[in-house]
């Protein structure tokens, strides 16, 4: 057996003995802080040595899998790509295998045609640092990737110099004198600086790139047009992954739309005129009379509730991340575009989201609904929101699966009703929410399933986020003489009174007239 493999198998047995003793005898929890640090440092050095051997072996896999070879190593082991063979043999995932293969391509050495000897690698000094165990795959990629992005614009001499400086940093060499000192051996290791982390190498690589390629990469319309794309993946764990590349003007337009919804007032916690902050309220209350609710929210009001009671400022911080806010704004953009009616028809109708749910599940709010065009499952409460903003069509099947009955229901608010509700509400009625009316959905205050009519006296404007999370909050909505009223959580109003929404309307002018005092 090859000496290298034999040595590694001996190492594996030693590691197995050491780790077995450590775990069986519970040694690690009893180690001191210094011993824990030494353990991590030692395993890091071993890991870099192992990664160096994997990279060199992967170089041979790439060479022995070349298209012109008849005896490809990949075909011998039953795989089509080198990355798949490496992934299976190292028992790792595709991402880590791709990183090893990428490093192998950058550090590979070709043989000369005349004498068959190896020519220098593209980054010879960094390869030597890998051989010495000073740097692993993460550090190598951090050092080489920035330079490779401008590969066509960097001269070979400049690349070799950058390689030398990066290798010096990787080995902890402070200056050229340490590098040229022939007596710099293990005894002189203490005179060198600490070994860097991959991010240190990436920073130096970018600094070197700024000197070697000060103009940077030229923007290319052809590259952008070729790499543009938008891919919607499969549903997994309740979410669908989206990836792709947008052209600059498309990304700019999308950012403008999202920025128009993500008003800075909503995000600024120190702004006294700011908008809604979302937080879980400690007390949960259910209004049995209406069965309606709305999303957690609050209004910046100078640290007091509507009745003058101070509240905790931390409760006003929006718990959503920036990415989650971007998603919710994007959802509003999509629903507004679908409602606009300017898209081509599909199957004789405008693009309409169809969600299928059993009548029993819809009535009880339990179970799952199905997005018809994708087959993805969503909670039945989401189907309730979809039906509230759109419409419901009842389709009854017999025991054999035949369509026995087909009915329609005029559930959606028409354009005239929407204009009237927009004039009344002005936007999302949750206090402090700045979402404009054009981006909002119309919510049935009394659910349509409970007999609530599709009438202006039963519809209010809610943004996508508040509408979707209506039932999870402690806000309550009711209609009083055709006027929506809001009752907030305890931290917003400890009296739990109902408050009118929107812009206050002037009352009878005789009641508004101030009293006049007459002097005797």
- What ranges do the domains of the chain cover? 1-30, 31-180+192-212, 243-515
Q: Give 64: exposed, middle or buried? Use CB within 10 Å, 0-12, 13-18, 19+.
A: middle
CA distance 112 to 103: 21
CA distance 448 to 368: 19
Identify the pLDDT of residue 250. Answer: 80
User: Do the beta carbons of residue 328 and residue 351 sit within 8 Å?
Assistant: no
Identify the pLDDT of residue 39. Answer: 93
Residue 395, beta-bridge partner list:
406
User: Do the beta carbons of residue 409 and residue 393 sit within 8 Å?
Assistant: yes
Task: Please name the residue that has the structure tokens 């929006």.
Answer: 318
CA distance 320 to 469: 13
Coil/strand/helix, residue 396: strand
User: Do the beta carbons of residue 168 and residue 204 sit within 8 Å?
Assistant: no
CA distance 198 to 217: 24
Radius of gyration of the chain, Cα coordinates, nearest whole angstrom: 33
Identify the pLDDT of residue 191. Answer: 53
Tallying the residues shown for the chain, one arrives at: 520
Q: Which segments of the chain have a pLDDT < 70?
A: 1-2, 175-192, 216-222, 263-319, 339-353, 362, 365, 373, 381-401, 403-411, 448-449, 502-520
Identify the pLDDT of residue 449. Answer: 64
User: Do the beta carbons of residue 278 and residue 319 sit within 8 Å?
Assistant: yes
How many Cβ atoms from other residues are within 10 Å of residue 347's Cβ? 7
The closest alpha carbon to 121, from 170, 68, 67, 163, belongs to 163
Rounded to 5 degrees, φ, ψ at 227 are -95, 0
Helix 156-170 / helix 198-212 crossing angle, nearest 10 deg: 160
How far from each other are the two terminal CA atoms of the chain, in whole angstroms?
121
Q: C-alpha dihedral over 200, 205, 211, 217, to 10 degrees?
A: -130
Copy the structure tokens of residue 254.
Answer: 């999308």
Identify the pLDDT of residue 390. Answer: 55
Q: What is the DSSP string of 224-272?
A: HHHH-EEEEEEEETTEEEEEEE--HHHHHHHHHHHHHHS-HHHH-TT-T
Coil/strand/helix, residue 304: strand
Identify the pLDDT of residue 220. Answer: 56
Task: Please name the residue that has the structure tokens 């298209």.
Answer: 67
Q: What is the pLDDT of residues 35-72, one digit of tens each?
A: 999 999 999 999 999 999 999 999 999 999 988 888 89
User: Do the beta carbons of residue 445 and residue 430 sit within 8 Å?
Assistant: no
Identify the pLDDT of residue 248. Answer: 76
Say what the pTM is: 0.47
Helices (H) and strands (E) in the chain, counts: 19, 12
Identify the pLDDT of residue 281. Answer: 40
Copy the structure tokens of residue 140.
Answer: 């190598």
Q: Give 29: exposed, middle or buried? Use CB within 10 Å, 0-12, 13-18, 19+.
A: exposed
Rounded to 5 degrees, φ, ψ at 499 are -125, 135
């Amino acid at each position: 057996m090859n000496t290298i493999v034999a040595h590694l198998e001996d190492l594996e047995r030693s590691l197995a003995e050491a780790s077995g003793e450590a775990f069986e005898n519970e040694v690690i929890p009893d180690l001191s802080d210094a011993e824990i640090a030494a353990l991590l440092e030692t395993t890091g050095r071993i890991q870099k040595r192992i990664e160096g051997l994997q990279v060199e072996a992967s170089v041979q896999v790439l060479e022995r899998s070349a298209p012109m070879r008849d005896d490809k190593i990949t075909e011998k082991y039953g795989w089509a790509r080198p990355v798949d063979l490496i992934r299976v043999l190292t028992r790792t995932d595709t991402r880590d295998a791709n990183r090893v293969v990428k490093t192998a391509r950058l550090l590979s050495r070709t043989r000369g045609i005349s004498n068959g000897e190896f020519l220098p690698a593209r980054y010879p000094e960094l390869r030597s640092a890998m051989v010495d165990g000073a740097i692993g795959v993460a550090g190598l990629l951090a050092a080489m990737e920035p330079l490779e992005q401008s590969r066509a614009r960097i001269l070979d001499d400049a690349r070799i110099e950058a390689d030398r400086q990066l290798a010096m940093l990787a080995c902890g060499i402070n200056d050229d004198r340490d590098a040229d000192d022939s007596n710099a051996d293990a005894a002189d290791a203490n005179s060198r600086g600490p070994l860097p982390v991959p991010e240190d190498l990436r920073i130096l690589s970018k600094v070197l790139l700024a000197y070697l390629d000060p103009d940077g990469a030229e923007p290319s319309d052809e590259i952008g047009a070729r790499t543009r794309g938008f891919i919607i993946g499969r549903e997994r764990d309740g979410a669908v992954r989206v990836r792709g590349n947008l052209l600059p003007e498309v990304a700019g337009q999308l950012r403008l739309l999202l920025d128009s919804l993500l008003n800075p007032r909503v995000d600024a916690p120190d702004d006294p005129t700011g908008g809604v902050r979302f937080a879980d309220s400690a007390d949960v209350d259910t209004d049995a009379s209406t069965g309606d609710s709305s999303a957690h929210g609050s209004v910046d009001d100078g640290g007091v509730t509507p009745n003058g009671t101070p509240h905790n400022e931390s409760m006003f911080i929006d718990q959503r991340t920036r990415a989650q806010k971007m998603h919710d704004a994007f959802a509003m953009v999509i629903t507004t575009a679908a409602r606009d009616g300017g898209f081509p028809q599909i199957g004789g109708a405008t693009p309409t989201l169809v969600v299928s749910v059993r009548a029993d599940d819809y009535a009880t709010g339990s179970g799952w609904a199905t997005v018809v065009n994708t087959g993805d499952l969503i909670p039945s409460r989401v189907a309730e929101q979809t039906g509230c903003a759109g419409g419901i069509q009842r389709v009854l099947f017999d025991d054999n699966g035949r369509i026995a009955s087909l009915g329609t229901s005029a559930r959606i608010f028409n354009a005239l009703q929407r204009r009237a509700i927009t004039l009344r509400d002005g936007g999302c009625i949750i206090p402090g929410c700045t979402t404009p009316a054009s981006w909002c959905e119309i919510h049935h205050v009394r659910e349509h399933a409970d007999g609530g009519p599709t009438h202006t006296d039963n519809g209010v404007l809610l943004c996508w986020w508040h509408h979707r999370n209506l039932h999870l909050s402690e806000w309550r909505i009711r209609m009083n003489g055709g006027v929506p009223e809001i009752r907030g959580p305890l931290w917003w109003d400890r009296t739990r009174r109902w408050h009118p929404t929107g812009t206050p309307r002037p009352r009878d002018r005789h009641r508004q007239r101030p009293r006049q005092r007459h002097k005797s």
